Every structure is written in structure tokens, then in C-alpha cells.
Homo-oligomer: A and B are copies of this chain.
Amino acid sequence: MFYIIGLGLSDESDISLRGLRAIQRCTRVYLESYTSILMDVPLSRLESLYQKPLILADRETVESNADDILSGADTQDVALLIVGDPFGATTHADILLRARKLNIPTRIIHNASILTAVGAAGLQLYNFGQTVSLVFFTPTWQPDSFYDRITENARLGLHTLVLLDIKVKEQSEENLARGRKIYEPPRYMSVPTAIAQLAEVEETRKEGTLDLKTTLVIALSRVGGHPQPPSATADTQNLPLHNEDNEHIVSGTLHDLLSIPQDRHAPTFGKPLHSLVIVGKRMHILEAEFAEAFSVDKENWRRVAKDVYGCAYE
């Protein structure tokens, strides 16, 4: 059996009992793209909980060396662990189709994903349109097709979840040119960078989808990343505690969030990974009230929600 198992959003305790049980049966356990996620959780903590050694596999390996991962999975159990839900960012269709061709049975063990956990911001999931990804712009590459998707959503009054870029295993131009497999430290797009890029594209495209002063957004970091409650009963798993409250949710206009001084970025927006929601005009008063609690400027949130979004505040 080949398992793809979601690990959830925050730390090792977000795995399901079903997932844990499957892992414990496996002869090999791969962990995808580890550097990008569960960033404060050392590998040893996962290995200790699972009682299994983990094999790190970046996404390239999963995509191009699928046969290595699948080897023997017709007679033994092999798992690939994915942060979030197995389908959050990709369907892993390639490796699943490959398994199908090799007559290897497959099973997916689902888990939480930012695509639904984003509901923590107080917005109804029914009111979301397409999800988009925003990549780091470079001087020579500013792909802006996400703007069309946001515009499509905005015209329908829908919210857009924007997933912010992660760069792992990047090579400097020099190292790339010289064929040296030396990688830069991972980079995660910050909320101010994301907003600056959105503003840059609006400036070019001028379709009026985004407006610094009247577009409401909600920034999210490490949703669900709360300290774990100590167990009231005997803790047979000896689960380590994760005591830091990592979840940050911040709402306001694009301008409100851009105006936060640099030295307040980390305490305000929290640690990566970050996501951003562009609020659609269909926002309900209950959504507005809920998200107001996260606003950097309550007065302004309320004014824009009322005057621009038409929310019927009393």
C-alpha cells in the first residue's frame, strides 16, 4: 500500500490517529518539502512520535523519482507525508497515476489545510472563489496571471485566498552557473512584500481590482498554531509541548497593513508561512464583525466595511 498522509498545519500533534497508525505500519516513510513547513519542529520530534526514521524528499524528488519512493509498495507499506492536506497545493496526481500504472494500491489520509482553516478569519468558506498563489517577483519575471483570478473573484464579490511564495533549494546565479549544488537559505514571502507586489500589478494593469485605501484584506500566519493543552490523562505518546502561540490574524485595508512600521512586522504578522485574503464585496455583516476583531484600525475597518462593502453595521 502507498499512503499519502496529511500532517495538518502546525506541529507533530496535528496528525490524525488514522495517519499515525498507518505510519507505524510502514517500512519506509518519506516527508515532503520539510524545510518549508512545521518549521519550529525538529525532525527528531516527528521521528520520536512516529517511532520511525524519516526520509526527506523535496518536491522534485517526489515528482521525478516517484519510482524510488514507490519501490516495494506493492508488497510493503510506504508513506509520503505532506504538510497540510495531501491535496492542498497539488493533487500529487503524478505519483498517484504512476502507482496506478504499477498496480500499487494507494490511500489518502486527509488532514486540515489552509484552504479551510482560513475560516478562522471569520469569513464564510462559501464566499471564497478560486485560490491563487503569489510568487516572488524578480527584476525579469513578474508573472501576473493571479491578478486575473483575483479580478474574476472580485467581480463576483468573492473572497480570494492568496498563498504566499516559499523558496527552498534556491541556487545563487553564480552557484547555478558553476553547477555547484549549494542552496540559499529558504525564503518566505512576507505580508508587506505580498501587498507591495499586488499594488505593483494593479499599477500596471489598472483594472481597479485592488485599491490601497478601500480594499480590505486579512493576513494569516500559522493558523491553528496554538500551544497544545497538556494532557489531563496519562500521556502515553509522551507528546512534547509546543508552548508558543503562533497564530496571527491581522485585518485592515491594504494601506493599513502596509503602514505597519518595519520593526512591528514580526510581532504583528507572526512567523511564516503567511497567507492573505482579499475580501470580496459580498462580505456579510457577520463576517465583517468577526474579522473586525483582528483589525489594526477598528474605526477604519468599520468605515470601509460600511461605506465601500455595504455592510449594515447598526
Interface residues of A (CB under 8 A from B): 1, 6, 8-18, 20-22, 24-25, 51, 77, 85-88, 90-91, 93-94, 96-97, 100, 107-113, 115-120, 122-133, 152, 156, 158, 223-224, 226, 228-233, 235-237, 239, 286-287, 289-290, 293
Give A3's nearest chain B residue, CB to CB.
B229
Are A21's CB and B130's CB within 8 A? no
A28 to chain B, nearest CB (A): 13
Which residues on the B side are within 8 Å of A239 (C-beta)? 17, 21
Contact of A17 among B15, B86, B133 (CB under 8 A): B15
Give A156's nearest chain B residue, CB to CB.
B152
**Further 6 A-B residue pairs, CB within 8 A, beyond A77-B229, A88-B116:** A6-B112, A87-B116, A93-B122, A93-B287, A93-B290, A130-B158
Contact of A229 among B25, B116, B117, B129 (CB under 8 A): B25
Give A227's nearest chain B residue, CB to CB.
B107
Q: List 8 A-B contacts (CB under 8 A).
A: A8-B16, A11-B18, A13-B18, A21-B230, A21-B239, A22-B229, A24-B231, A236-B237
Which residues on the B side are within 8 Å of A90 (C-beta)? 124
Give A126's nearest chain B residue, CB to CB.
B131
A288 to chain B, nearest CB (A): 11
Which residues on the B side are within 8 Å of A109 (C-beta)? 224
> A17-B17, A24-B232, A91-B290 in contact; A117/B122 too (CB < 8 A)?
no
A33 to chain B, nearest CB (A): 17
Are B113's CB and A237's CB within 8 A? no
Are B290's CB and A96's CB within 8 A? yes
A130 to chain B, nearest CB (A): 6
> A112-B112, A287-B93 in contact; A125/B87 too (CB < 8 A)?
yes
A182 to chain B, nearest CB (A): 32
Are A15's CB and B16's CB within 8 A? yes
